[in-house]
Amino acid sequence: MPPLPRVLALLAVCLLAAGCDADESLLGEFEGRIDVDRSARLVEGEAVYTILDGPRGPEFVLGLFVGDLFESDIEDYDYVLFRRPGARPGVGAYAVDADPAYAVAATIANVDEADDPLKARGEVLRGLEGTLALTRIDDYGFVAGTFQFDAAGFFVQRPAQAVTGAASGTFEARYEPPATFRALGLDL
């Protein structure tokens, strides 16, 4: 092989190797902490967003799924979800509030056997106050940022029992088409 093509091939291999970090993912990732009552857990998983056509127009939905995106479905799910009226927002800090008409709505949900009301176990909480900060939006469809909010809700197996909680963390989310979210069977 002539020297120039060999050098170019070696350079291409080096560039590819340098660009492929085992700790980085093109899938979209998040890590954070979820507190519910006196229990805290460190979580990580897949981060994705989409734009849904809602009854009042487009709606930005950011899903932080513990583990793999497809581990959450109509039967078992574990996620932090953010919703905001409109298309994908720009870089900035957005208030999390219980009134989603004017702010970001946030949900913490960790439910097993959700498709069977007699066996369902877990908790569902709604964000009360906090912040969703979008720190970077790139041309490849990734949105990065941080989140922190306080929440209140209930245990599925004991709906009359109130529960409080909080969530915080960082994410880099990739775009997924609305059909991907709908295929999970979750009530988005």
pLDDT bin (cut points 50, 70, 90) of residue 26 is low
Domain-embedded: residue 166: yes
> Can you read off the two tokens belonging to residue 93?
């800090």
> Can you read off the two tokens belonging to residue 115?
């498709």
What pLDDT is recorded for position 147?
98
Query: Which is nearest to 40 in space by CA: 184, 136, 161, 165?
Result: 165
**49 C-beta neighbours (distance < 10 Å), count:** 21
> Can you read off the two tokens belonging to residue 3?
């020297």
Domain-embedded: residue 17: no
Q: Which of 34-38, 44-48, 70-74 has the lowest mean pLDDT?
A: 70-74
Domain-embedded: residue 2: no
- What global pTM score does this model have? 0.82
Domain-embedded: residue 67: yes
Identify residue 59 by its one-letter amino acid code: E
What pLDDT is recorded for position 64?
96
Q: In total, how many domains does the chain have?
A: 1
Q: Greater confidence, 101 or 67?
A: 67
pLDDT bin (cut points 50, 70, 90) of residue 13 is very low
40-to-36, 83, 102, 115, 130 alpha-carbon distances in Å: 6, 24, 30, 25, 18
Q: Strand pairing partners for 151?
A: 127, 165
Domain of 82, in residue numbers: 27-183
